[in-house]
Chain A
Amino acid sequence: MSQVADHAHTEHPPHLHHHFHSSAQQAASAKLGMWVFIAQEILFFSGLFMAYIALRYLYPKTFLAAHEHLDVSMGALNTVFLITSSLTMALAVRAAQTSNKKWAEINLLLTIGFALAFCVVKYFEYSHKFHLGIFPGKYYAYTHIPGNPEVFFGLYFVMTGMHALHVVVGIGLLLWIYLKTRTGAFSAAYYSPVENVGLYWHLVDLIWIFLFPLLYLVK
């Protein structure tokens, strides 16, 4: 079968890049890179969470009054969507690990579906805020919350906006993985992209796990 004389190319799986010794090494390197990225993401968001702590410390009553204007059931619904999408994502990775192409496709589609549902709910939340005149920053125009609600909603829009941006990027990545899965690119021998996009997607869920109680619930 192998007419290539070069010994480095004998039994060389198509996914294995030249600079890696083995598939295992390649997969481990890719995953390590992903975890470095995740560590960076955690530190990136920590700035926003620190801003939350500082501002809440400075404006405790404002935070209590303003957070009443977020809709808990919407936030809870989105939490359910994200957790469920995390499950389907994990199942998609598992399907790829077991070379179950059909099952991987279904679960990836479900994950994308829940991600879109999350965006739809966010859209309704944001548009209701805008409808009331609750805009970010200096365009804030809703005068019926005592204290300095601009501070709370500024933070709300930045934190949820940054998170939503990650969701949108995630949808793009999931679509890419889905299309590649359809071409049969992944199997038990090679599923690194599925796994690493999965890690990214769980991270998005992870951040929301903290955003939801801090913004919607704590009183």
Chain B
Amino acid sequence: MSHHKDSHGSHEPHVLPLSIYFGVFFALMILTYITVKVSQLGLGALAIPIAMTVALIKAGFVVGYFMHLRYDDRFLSLFFASSIVFLGVFFAFTVYDLGARDTWVPEEHTQVNLIDGKPFCDPEILKNNDRRKKVCDEAKKRGDHGHGHGAHGNVVKAAAHPTPAKRGVAKVAQPAARPATPAPVARPTTPAPAPVARPTTPAPAPAARPTAPAARPTAPAPAPAARPAAQFDAASLAAGKKLYQANACWTCHGNEGKGDGAAAAALPVKPANFALGNYKYGGSLGDIYKVLSNGSPNKASGMVAYAHIPDNDRWSIAKYLLSLKK
């Protein structure tokens, strides 16, 4: 602060003209409009850089003018800048680390299972949990009626996402049908336009809450053994088992993956016991996939690369091997 009137007195505030505030406001509005419009163009890989550039410009306006940093003591800018620098360091190192890892499991082969390795609405769990069954049934019903946009969504697993049949009123009920349909702006107060909205709306929330504590007691018990078979879908496991047999893995690794196949006796290095899960080269899905694709790092071991097996099948085998762990 450069201007002291007297030692105790007030300092004169630095008052910006109104035109600056309103100018910044309109700039922010226009930039918001631009980001929304640009995002609807479907620019693919360019979308993120453009959206982030616009966001940075907006941020610059807010920080520089609304927050006065342009006119304030330079020392404050230094503080602000230092936080941005550390943010950059944090991002840069973490992103570098992310990119440097070579055994990421593609998302198609990942299942984020949440309770004892099973999804919330797993049929087996629902069998003895009526409350959760109710929530899941209602969620399913709503999904079937609404969200007719399997059509434009990016379908990752087509099988897991059957396009819901259009059932007359379906479109009206669903406010989330996005880009193509701006006409019936059925959105405003979301739940309202749903056909049976009123009575059912608040229902799922309270119904869901109680399942929380209910789920707890069962969770801790089997937690330590959480990894096994349940993590992967039955289809992959069945396919993996078949491939394990068809590719004669068992001749060395044994029928149950215990490393006791007939050919193992003659091997210089004994294969690990998959049933115990003591993998030498790492026991994650990605690690196993890597050995399978590249062969063992120990080239003399007899474990050659199986890169000729299609990618998807290699993942299935890896899942099957993990499921062998007792």
Classify the interface of chain B: helix, strand, loop or mixed.
Answer: helix
Q: In the docked arrangement, what's the CA distance between A203 and B178, Å?
A: 30
Say yes or no: A147-B157 contact (C-beta < 8 A), given A23-B9, A46-B87, A53-B91: yes
Instruction: Check if B156 sits within 8 Å of A22, measured CB to CB.
Output: no
A76 and B36 within 8 A (CB): yes
Interface residues as binary, B126-157 with A (CB distance below 8 Å gives 1, 0 otherwise): 00000010011011101110110110111111
Q: Is the CB of A157 closer than 8 A to any CB of chain B?
A: no
Q: Is B279's CB within 8 Å of the partner chain A?
A: no
B112 within 8 A of A: yes
When the two chains form the complex, which single residue of B52, B87, B120, B154 contacts A65, counting CB atoms closer than 8 Å?
B154
Type the 1/0 row for A114-140, where 1 means its CB is closer than 8 Å to any CB of B.
000000000011011011110101111
Q: A39-B83, A131-B191, A142-B143 are in contact. Are A218 and B7 (CB under 8 A)?
A: no
With A39-B83, A71-B175, A94-B18: A209-B154 Cβ-Cβ less than 8 Å: no
Which bracket fits the contact residues of B?
35 or more
CB under 8 Å from chain B, chain A span 187-218: 188-191, 198-199, 202-203, 205-206, 209-210, 212-214, 217-218
A148 and B98 contact, CB distance less than 8 A: no
| Cβ A190 vs Cβ B10 within 8 A | yes
Residue numbers in A under 8 Å from B111 (CB-CB):
148
Knowing A140-B120, A217-B51, the reply to whether A83 touches B83 (Cβ < 8 A) is: no
User: When the two chains form their complex, are residues B107 and A148 in contact, meaning their CB atoms are under 8 A apart?
Assistant: yes
Q: Is the Cβ of A62 less than 8 Å from the Cβ of B25?
A: no
> A39-B82, A213-B35, A217-B36 are known contacts. Are A24 and B4 too (CB-CB below 8 A)?
yes
Cα–Cα distance between A64 and B18 once the two chains are bound (Å): 41
Q: In the bound complex, do residue B176 and residue A68 qualify as a contact, i.e. CB atoms below 8 Å apart?
A: yes
**A43-B48 in contact given A62-B107, A73-B187 (Cβ < 8 Å):** no
List of A residues within 8 angstroms of B76 by Cβ = 31-32, 35
Query: Which of A21, A206, A212 makes the CB contact (< 8 A) with B62?
Result: A206
Interface string of B23-36 (1 = CB under 8 A from A): 01100110010011
Assess whether B190 is in contact with A128, with CB atoms less than 8 Å apart: yes
Q: Which of A12, A46, A73, A219 has the most CB of B within 10 A?
A: A219
Give the docked Cα–Cα distance between A68 and B136 (Å).
21
Closest to B22 in A: A87
Could you say which of B203-211, B223-231, B243-251, B313-321 contacts chain A? B203-211
A interface: dominant SS: helix
Q: Which of A71, A133, A217 contacts B135 (CB 8 A)?
A: A133
Contact (Cβ within 8 A) B8 A130:
no
Interface membership of A174, Cβ < 8 A: no
A144 contacts B by Cβ under 8 Å? yes
Question: Which residue of the partner chain A has the closest CB to B146?
Answer: A132
Q: Say yes or no for B215: interface residue by CB 8 A criterion.
A: yes
Closest 9 CB pairs of A and B: A133-B139, A189-B10, A24-B11, A39-B83, A138-B114, A144-B143, A217-B39, A97-B13, A213-B51
Interface check B100, CB cutoff 8 A: no
Instruction: For B164, list chain A residues within 8 Å (CB).
Output: 144
Counting CB contacts under 8 A, is A89 at the interface?
A: yes
- Contact check, A39 vs B80: say whether CB atoms are below 8 A apart: yes
